[in-house]
Amino acid sequence: MSSGSRVVVGVGGGVAAYKVVELVRRLRESGHAVRVVPTAAALRFVGAPTWAALSGEPVGDDLWADAHEVPHVRIGQEADLVIVAPATADLLARAAHGLADDLLANVLLTARCPVLMAPAMHTEMWDHPATRANVATLRARGVVVLEPAVGRLTGADSGRGRLPEPRELAAVAERVLARGTAASTPDLAGRTVVVSAGGTREPLDPVRFLGNHSSGRQGYALATTAVARGADVVLVAANVELPDPAGAKVVAVATAEELRTVVVEAAGSADAVVMAAAVADFAPVEAAASKVKKDAGDPPVVRLRRTPDVLAELVGDRRPGQVIVGFAAETGNADADWLELGRRKLADKGCDVLVVNRVGEGRAFGTTDNAAVILTSDGREVDVPLGPKEALADQVWDAVALRLGPADR
212 is catalytic: yes
Nearest C-alpha neighbor of 310 from the set 325, 329, 331: 325
Residue from 106, 134, 212, 239 carrying the catalytic annotation: 212
Sign of the C-alpha dihedral computed for residues 86, 89, 92 and 95 taken in this order = negative
**Distance between CA atoms of residues 345 and 327, nearest Å:** 10
Question: How far are the Cα atoms of 277, 386, 397, 400 from residue 321, in angstroms, in the given order?
Answer: 23, 31, 15, 11
- Identify which of 21, 180, 16 has the alpha carbon closest to the alpha carbon of residue 91: 16
SS3 assignment for the chain: CCCCCEEEEEECCCCCHHHHHHHHHHHHHCCCEEEEEECCCHHHCCCHHHHHHHHCCCCCCCCCCCHHHCHHHHHHHHCCEEEEEEECHHHHHHHHCCCCCCHHHHHHHHCCCCEEEEECCCHHHHHCHHHHHHHHHHHHCCCEECCCEEEECCCCCEEEEECCCHHHHHHHHHHHHHCHHHHHCCCCCCCEEEEEEEECCEECCCCCEECCCCCCHHHHHHHHHHHHCCCEEEEEEECCCCCCCCCCEEEEECCHHHHHHHHHHHHCCCCEEEECCECCCEEECCCCCCCCCCCCCCCCCCCEEECCCHHHHHHHHCCCCCEEEEEEEECCCCCCCHHHHHHHHHHHHCCCEEEEEECECCECCCCCEEEEEEEECCCCEEEEEEEEHHHHHHHHHHHHHHHHCCCCC
248 has which bridge partners? none
As annotated, the active-site residues are 212
